Chains A and B, each alone.
Chain A
């Protein structure tokens, strides 16, 4: 499913499922959940059960499109609207885990994580215009 929501470019893939699993195990949510949904862990379990028959098959992609549209027919513990809401949450989790990896940050030319360093003054940016870079910044992907 991670490959469908976030089809990662390049040869080296970040294992998103592993990271989302760890996030759920640590109980890290986003401070809210849609009305009518069980907790994140329960929603993931139930939704993955619903999708189990198509997991790993060529039908998964079409099934997820149907889930995203709120039309997936389910006889499991989540109805179509619950599945849709879960898939939105899961998509956010997956894309965040992809982006949080240093290789992805490099690929999207993001070095904002490097700010705030404790010198005489905190590290920020003095050069802010389009097409401009600080001397300390990596060159970034050619764009």
Chain B
């Protein structure tokens, strides 16, 4: 994005707010605070790019938009980082995200009340939904005319065209009596003038969302909220890695320490918002030792079950064409026959070949002739996948390893093992998905295991002893420090995270401006009858 004319602040200038991270958690808040006249600097570890800089090449794209600095992943089913779930660059993970934008269900925000497991969100569903509607309006979200599971919902743009994989899922679900329709997606499906950015052309169905959208059709922070932030006087500082936080004598943040162009620097500030994502935010907090009187930083790491079921069809499908996940069913948000807490969403799948092959090896254990045959069948392959609830467990957490990165900051080590609840959801979902692809005429069914997203490592809650931030996103320990990204999620929520993160970002900005901790911490969530 264009940064050449942006306002710039000196390191020794005390800016009102420093934001670390320019993705879905940082950008909406940055725009909102800048619009209110606050002086703000957003730090981004990655580079600044234009949409046209991206490439559909799966070999080159990760170095462009994914966080490739090594992380260590353990547990019984180590979750993959890099291109699987970790972004970098001005725009953060919205550069590589899949733009799938279901809204969170009221059931997911009341998980503990309804199931006795996991946690409730200390946020009213109606309040969150109001912020989500604002985000959908501001960035442009497309969806079906009629949304079967929420009839009053309206999308302002029609959905993108369906591809062969979409037709397959519609066919299979129809045969089984499962309701499915066009998914809500963060794409502009007509030419759109984005305020402060300019023209975003309609999606051309190229299918390379995960490699970075070249024409700005996919919602990305560098074509939406960040240009607005810059227009209102915020500065975005790319290739600037924050590794330290300085407190004054009163225990308030007064500066951040960062590296830029190989030089150590210090930016003074009146407040700090961490929005570096579910891995980098807790990593920075553990490294600095701040905001962790609860001992909860890095704990409650969850990753959505993202099992995929693929099948081979008689016709050429080539499901890499078109928007990859254009069909959704919410019929399994809370299945009637569930023997588990939570539920799952199903989407149609398209996959680029290297990504698909990686999942065949890691998630399906394929090697040799079977692997080659699966890839020879690739053009006739289509599938469906889930995003499933994940409960927190004591052993699933992020800690610092004893290995240092190039900045001298310890690398993150994440342990992740699914529990019996995740196994039960997976079994249910595999039965459902297998039935769908078979009803659609698929044979040679393959189940591929995968997890997605990095969630819950700086939990939001109503109790300072068991959470890192209060219901507004403010640290319980450091009064002018805030966290705003998927690390604050009290529970995983089966709706893919980015839309909700953007909504939380606008909400956190409002709470920041209101500056009323007593009100934020009063228990005011209304429990629906």
Contact = CB atoms under 8 A, between A and B. Distances in A.
Partners in one complex: yes
Given A88-B361, A108-B353, A110-B353, 4 more contacts: A31-B70, A118-B52, A123-B206, A124-B203
Interface stretch (A42-50, A71-79, A92-100): A92-100
A24 interface: no
B214 to A, nearest CB: 4
A32 B215 CA distance: 30
Given A108-B376, A129-B167, A130-B317, A113 B56 contact: yes
Interface of A: 4-9, 28-36, 39, 64, 68, 88, 91-92, 95-96, 99-100, 105, 107-110, 112-113, 115-116, 118, 121-126, 128-131, 140-141, 143
Interface stretch (B37-45, B108-116, B157-165, B285-293): B157-165
B316 A143 contact: yes
A31 B62 contact: yes
B361 A95 contact: yes
Nearest to A61: B368
Contacts of B66: 31
Interface stretch (B81-89, B383-391, B486-494): B81-89
Contacts of B22: none
Looking at B313, B316, B321, B322, which has the most chain A CB atoms within 10 Å of its CB?
B321
19 contacts: A7-B368, A31-B68, A32-B80, A34-B78, A68-B365, A91-B361, A92-B358, A95-B375, A96-B59, A108-B375, A110-B320, A112-B206, A112-B208, A112-B320, A116-B206, A118-B52, A122-B214, A125-B163, A130-B317
Chain B interface residue count: which class?
Answer: 35 or more
B370 to A, nearest CB: 10
B439 interface: no
A96 B371 CA distance: 11
B54 to A, nearest CB: 8
B335 interface: no
A123 B203 CA distance: 10
Contacts of B365: 68
B353 A99 contact: yes
A128 B318 CA distance: 8
Contacts of B161: 126, 128
A121 B216 CA distance: 11
A45 B71 CA distance: 21
Contacts, number: 177
Contacts of B83: 30-31
B378 A110 contact: yes
B206 A99 contact: no
B124 to A, nearest CB: 37
B396 interface: no
Given A8-B372, A115-B56, A125-B206, A108 B68 contact: no
B440 to A, nearest CB: 11
Nearest to B369: A7
Contacts of A112: 56, 206-208, 320-321, 352-353
B36 interface: no
A33 B70 contact: yes
A91 B322 CA distance: 29
A140 B379 contact: yes
A123 B371 CA distance: 31
B73 A128 contact: no
B204 A4 contact: no
Looking at A91, A128, A129, A140, which has the most chain B CB atoms within 10 Å of its CB?
A128
